[in-house]
Amino acid sequence: MDYIEYGYFGLFVVCFLAATILPLTSEGVLVIFLALNFDPTICLIVASIGNVLGGTTNYGIGRLGKLSSIQKLVRNPSRFEKLKNSIQKYGAGIALLSWVPIIGDPLTIALGFFRVPFIPVLILMSIAKILRYTIIIFLWN
């Protein structure tokens, strides 16, 4: 629990890293900060900014990739087409799932790979991530 020693910066780092493809969870860390009487409003702001920036990093990683790379990862051509069609159909709306454990991070990478416009992705991803932390803080209180 060394991240607690760093206060809000520690919360920021954990939430940033949890939004990348690293296997971390930020919800539990947020609850620990709340249990230690850190200010809930500041925790919401710090956790949200860190998590959104982490998701934005995933999107950027996706943008750096080539569509041929994701085709190799998926391996199954029909599965690739299904993914491509889903992203084209729902577009930035998929960013509303960016908060979901396990699937959220790969989805933000896929949004970048398929060149979904950044600003709508950023807005919807921010809404989803902020709402998740808001609910956790509300339930804690």
Q: 33 Cβ partners below 8 Å, 6+ apart?
A: 4, 11, 43
pLDDT confidence of residue 1: 60
State both tokens at 51: 């998590």
pLDDT confidence of residue 2: 84
The count of domains in the chain is 1
Q: What is the mean pLDDT of each run of 10 residues along the chain (141 residues)?
A: 88 95 89 96 98 96 82 77 87 94 90 95 98 96 82
pTM of the shown model: 0.89
For 120, the domain range is 2-140
pLDDT confidence of residue 73: 72
